[in-house]
Structure 1
Amino acid sequence: MKTIASCVEEIIITQPFIEEALSRNIINYSALAEHIQPLIEKRLHKTVKTGAIMMALRRYSPPLHASNTQKMQRILKNLGDITVRSNLTDFTFQNSPTLIQSHAKILENITTDRSIFYAFTRGILESNIIISSSERDKITQSFTKETQLGIEENLSAISINLPHDNSKVPGLYYQLFKRLAWDGIPLHEVVSTTNEFTILVKDFLVDRAFSVIKSLKSEVSF
């Protein structure tokens, strides 16, 4: 049987920014209650007073695994080096039987030059190559037989070294994505390995994105 409290919980869970604001005590309970009142009345098929909704909001507690735990604080404070690389280009190609051969030509050219930024990801239908813009002509030449689906230039990458036990802490990526979203920073691409996390943003956003990520290491709560 649905109750006001269960409806409030369902609504908050689907809107993490509201949950974040509630946890920080920076939201107007009365205004929020009035805002979600029509949704709750629709779900319960009856009239509901805003006072009852406010009470449910004040009693709401986020799941323990999503709260600001000491382990999460430790992980964020122990984020490793943050490296920024600019002047990058992102190529998108349609997957094909010959794509790997075309890709091998690029690997031969870049293995001897460590100054070149390079990342390759393969999906079910398409693959991406993120590389220093200085290598754009080589990509074009090596992939002449492939179907290019897109290209994006003027990108910068921010790479973060993660603690080795990062995969055991729920919500780590959520904290990173949440803060970037709060600051209105769109992500062009995300690449990750076990202990390294890289985001791609447009060049004009890289300073803001770097500041946001760096601030996570010094924050006591979030």
Structure 2
Amino acid sequence: MRKVSEAVQAIIEANPALQFGLHHRLLNLSQVARFICPLVEARVHKSVQPSAVLMSLSRLQRRWENQQPALQRRFRVDRINVQGGLCALTLPKQLATLRELAELFGRVQQEGGYLTLTEGVSEVTVILEQRHMALIPQVLHVIPRRVYRNLAGLGVKFQERYLETPGLLYQLLQQLALQNINVVEVASTTTEFNIYLDDRDVQLAFDSIYNRFVREVS
């Protein structure tokens, strides 16, 4: 079983932003202790009091005062694509619905359209272009649980060398959270991450990701 102090240090060392804040005394340690307490408990497999986490943070801060803070990992995005005019439908996951979605996928592909499927345990979300919404009542016999209109997709392409490095997807979504942009849906492949959001936010989202992951590291 790991010690609380070891767990706290591992969590802080994995987060350059927290390292920077601790080094420069920018953080309210009591708030940080309460925030990371569940993470510490997950590592030590026992209940932990925030006061114990606070004590470890204080010791860590004193130890790091005269050390150079770690630099935040620098990721580079190769390409950012924008796909506008999208809609998203969430459907109950049923065998008949999955068969109908396979037919819908084929018909959209025949027309050279855009369609993404995300399958969960009890639901399926399909994202397609507004121009193909007329196919929905023709193919599907189930009423969608939720329909989102006026969406845009932001597709981010990155290199395979980042696959084993923690933090890339977190940093991408962090840029949108800092701009108060709501993410409606996400989907991914090995080296692509697609973020779906209201089309009114797409320009700000594009600029935020571009400035952080393309321009800054060029």
TM-score for both structures, normalised by structure 2: 0.73
Asked if 1:133 is matched to 2:137, the reply is: no
Q: Structure 1 residue 53: deviation in Å? A: 6.7
Structure 1 runs (4+) deviating above 3 angstroms are 5-10, 33-40, 42-45, 52-56, 58-61
Measure the CA separation in 2 of the matches of 1:177 and 1:153: 21
| Structure 2 stretches lacking a partner, 5+ long | 38-48
Where does 1:177-196 land on structure 2 (aligned, <5 Å)? 177-196=173-192
Does the C-alpha gap of structure 1 residues 35 and 166 become closer, same or farther in structure 2, counting only changes over 3 Å? closer
Tell me what 1:208 maps to.
Answer: 204
2:115 to 113, 118, 121: 118
Does the C-alpha gap of structure 1 residues 68 and 192 become closer, same or farther in structure 2, counting only changes over 3 Å? farther
RMSD: 3.8
Measure the CA separation in 2 of the matches of 1:104 and 1:98: 10
Amino acid at match of 1:192: S
CA offsets, 1:155-204, max 9 Å, x none?
A: 11000112122312221112112222222222111100011110001111
Equivalent position SS for 1:168: coil
Amino acid at match of 2:8: E
Q: Structure 1 residue 34: deviation in Å? A: 6.5
Equivalent position SS for 1:90: strand
Asked if 1:165 is matched to 2:161, the reply is: yes
| Structure 1 stretches lacking a partner, 5+ long | 62-66
Tell me what 1:97 maps to.
Answer: 95
Measure the CA separation in 1 of the matches of 2:29 and 2:168: 30
Where does 1:1-222 land on structure 2 (aligned, <5 Å)? 6=5, 9=8, 19=18, 22=21, 25=24, 28=26, 32-33=28-29, 43-44=50-51, 56-59=60-63, 68=71, 72-73=73-74, 76-77=75-76, 79-114=77-112, 116-143=113-140, 145-215=141-211, 216-220=213-217
Identity of aligned residues (%): 22
Equivalent position SS for 1:165: helix
Does the C-alpha gap of structure 1 residues 60 and 123 become closer, same or farther in structure 2, counting only changes over 3 Å? farther
Measure the CA separation in 2 of the matches of 1:214 and 1:100: 36
Amino acid at match of 1:178: Q
Amino acid at match of 1:161: K
Q: Structure 1 residue 207: deviation in Å? A: 0.7
CA contact (8 A) 1:117 1:132 kept: yes
Measure the CA separation in 1 of the matches of 2:64 and 2:107: 57
Does the C-alpha gap of structure 1 residues 24 and 202 become closer, same or farther in structure 2, counting only changes over 3 Å? farther
Q: Structure 1 residue 141: deviation in Å? A: 2.3
Does the C-alpha gap of structure 1 residues 149 and 34 become closer, same or farther in structure 2, counting only changes over 3 Å? closer
Q: Structure 1 residue 7: deviation in Å? A: 10
CA contact (8 A) 1:106 1:142 kept: yes
